[in-house]
Structures are given as structure tokens and as C-alpha cells.
Structure 1
Amino acid sequence: MYGDNKVASFSVTIERQQDLFTLSSEYSLAHCVAADLRMSRGIASVFKAKFGQVEKLREFGPRVGRVLWLRDQERFIYYLVTKKLSSGKPDYREMWNSLLDLKRRVLWSGIRKIAMPRIGCGLDGLEWRKVRNMLEEIFQGTGVQILVCRFNPKSIPTPGTVDCRRTALRDLGHGLPTIANEFRDEIGFNEGAMLQRLHLLRRV
């Protein structure tokens, strides 16, 4: 729900007008990159300038659908590899699998607070509401809080309250259900009984 202060709060994600890089170190950071690790545009270029160590990231052997990470004192900087080339575009399957890997990494490290931009929704062109619903679905029940930071205070919409559990299944009618049909054998979609939830779409 968006309040008068234009903070959007759901069960997992909180969206706020705030500079991502001014947050305290209690927040680990996450953003999207291509497997080529060029990071030459958008917020990825800021991450590159601030945290560097690109060669160290390359040592992980970047693969689409996986997450790379750097240690920044007591926090982590996560790089979600959502596409092969910087010149390309991700799809929802790649975003979904990257978020599943992020969940595994975060829980393994004991991280409880993550901050990120509207991942995949700037130059990459994905729809934020769909990506946000993925975050809600994947991280529900984990105790992980995700703070989504916005730079432009005039660009946040002000809709009414949204039931994210319902929206995650209903509003992705041409998003996740399509992915489930096309990639039914994907490991990611078996995790968390996501397919079972998607089969309920027509009843919502």
C-alpha cells in the first residue's frame, strides 16, 4: 500500500524514495547484470564504480540465472545475472531463476535486509509489478526484508492497497503462467510448489 509519504509496503518488499547508496551497512545490496559484466550503463555502472572487483566476479564464471557476490565489510553486494549480453534483454524466466538463487545465497549467509533498485525494470524493460510479485512469492516466510529504493520522487504511482499474495497469482496472467507452461521442467519452478500455485490462477 502506498501512503501519503509515498512508501509502498507489502509483506516482503518496502518501496521508498531513497538513494540506495546512502543506506547503512545493515543492508546488503542487489542489482542485475549481464554475464559479460560490462556494467556500462544505468545503475550497474554506479555499482561498478563504487565496488569494482570485476575480475573477481569473473572468477565465479557468470551464468544466466545465477548470482555473483562481493563482500563489502559486513555486508554482501549481489549481482543477479539475468541475461547473457549487456546489449540484450532479460525475460521473466531468467529473473525468476536469479531471484531463486539470490534467496539461497541470502539465507545461507544469514542476511535479513536487502536493498535494491527496481531490478530489471529500467533499461531492461521488465514490468515492475510482475518483478515485485516474484520477490513477494519467492521470499515469503523467510524473514528477509527487501527495501526497493527509488531515485525520482515524482515517478512513484499511488494506487490503492494491493493484496500481493493474490496479485502474485492473478496479475501475471501473461507473465509467470506463460513461463510455467513453457518451462515446466525448470528446477526453479518446482521449488516452493510454484507450479501448484500457478495452476490455481484460473480460480482466482
Structure 2
Amino acid sequence: MELIEIKKDLFTMPEDYFLAHCISADAKMGAGIAVLFRKKFKLSSLQERATKNELEVGKCYKVDRVFNLITKSKYWHKPTYETLTAAVRSMKESCVNESISKLAMPEIGCGLDKLQWGRVKEILKEEFKDIPIEITVCRL
């Protein structure tokens, strides 16, 4: 596993990168970078699943090339390091099963959700330590 931190617009990463971000199980995606993900990647299928209570905290749902990590139940809640870890673990399983070797993401859980990047980075390193993957963290 290689973790790279760069200054770059996440949405300008090459098409061979799968992108990741955190959302709530209600799939509102009405604030922060989630708004951009919703608009750029047409994530309405997630919103439909949310209305049927099909999205589970601690899981990751892939839509096209976007991993949507469910880290809290409602948009106004805050995630915990435990729910983030569970969602990252779910994403790792998908990466292994689908032979995905390139991920790009913002500092997940650290914007509006207020988690500390140092701890989140350690979670990523620990969860992905045993697989060949490049994780690029983009910040502007």
C-alpha cells in the first residue's frame, strides 16, 4: 500500500482512479464535497436506496467509480472512528474483490465531519497495509 498526499482537485484525477467519500445512510449529500460528488456522478440511485432504508452504517456502496462510505445514519450526525473504520474495511473488501489498485479521496471524514486527519490516515494505512494499492489523498 502506498499513500500519497497531494495538492490537486480530486475531480481531475485520471479515469483509472476510483474515488471515495463519506456520506450518511440517508444519502442527503447536501453539503461539503458530497454535493459535488452527487452532481458529477449522478448518485440518485443511492438516494432511492436510502428511502428504502437499504444503506447501512459501516458499509461502502460503489456507484460507477465512486465508493460511498456510510459513516453515520443521518446527515446531521457525526461519524465515529469506529464507523469510519468499518466503512473503510468494506471499501477494502470491494477493492480486493474487484482488483482495484488506485483510489483517490479527500481527507475523508475530516471536513464537516470533524475527524482528525492523523487518525484517519492511520486507519487507512492499517486497513490497506496488506494489499497492493495506491491511495492518493487530494486537497486544494
Q: In structure 2, which of residues 29, 32, 50 is the aligned counterpart of residue 39 of structure 1?
A: 29
The yes-or-no answer on 1:50 pairing with 2:43 is no
Q: Which residue type is aligned with residue 141 of structure 1?
A: D
The yes-or-no answer on 1:29 pairing with 2:22 is no
The yes-or-no answer on 1:20 pairing with 2:13 is no
Q: In structure 2, which of residues 112, 115, 119 is the aligned counterpart of residue 123 of structure 1?
A: 112
SS in 2 for 1:59: helix
Higher percent of residues as strand: 2
2:6–2:137 CA contact under 8 A, matched in 1: yes
Whose Rg is larger? 1
SS in 2 for 1:63: coil
The yes-or-no answer on 1:78 pairing with 2:67 is yes
1:117–1:150 CA contact under 8 A, matched in 2: yes
Counterparts of 1:67 and 1:57 in 2: how far apart (Å)?
14
1:165: which partner in 2?
none
The yes-or-no answer on 1:64 pairing with 2:60 is no
The yes-or-no answer on 1:91 pairing with 2:93 is no
C-alpha RMSD of the superposition: 1.3
2:28–2:47 CA contact under 8 A, matched in 1: no
Structure 1 consecutive aligned stretches of length 4 or more whose deviation exceeds 4 Å: none
2:100–2:133 CA contact under 8 A, matched in 1: yes
Task: Give the deviation of 1:13 after TM superposition.
Answer: 1.1
Residues 104, 85 of structure 1: alpha-carbon distance in 2 compared, 3 angstrom cutoff: same
Task: Give the deviation of 1:57 after TM superposition.
Answer: 5.6
Task: Give the deviation of 1:55 after TM superposition.
Answer: 2.7
Count of residue pairs brought into register by the alignment:
137
Q: In structure 1, which of residues 74, 97, 106 is the aligned counterpart of residue 95 of structure 2?
A: 106
SS in 2 for 1:32: strand
- More contact order relative to length (CA 8 Å, sep ≥ 6): 2
TM-score by length of structure 1 reads: 0.65
Q: Percent identity?
A: 36
* 1:34-92 superposed Cα distances (whole Å, 9 cap, x missing partner): 00000000000000010113235643811000011111xxxx21000000000110001
Which blocks of at least 5 consecutive residues in structure 2 are unaligned? none
Q: In structure 2, which of residues 106, 109, 126 is the aligned counterpart of residue 137 of structure 1?
A: 126
Counterparts of 1:40 and 1:66 in 2: how far apart (Å)?
20
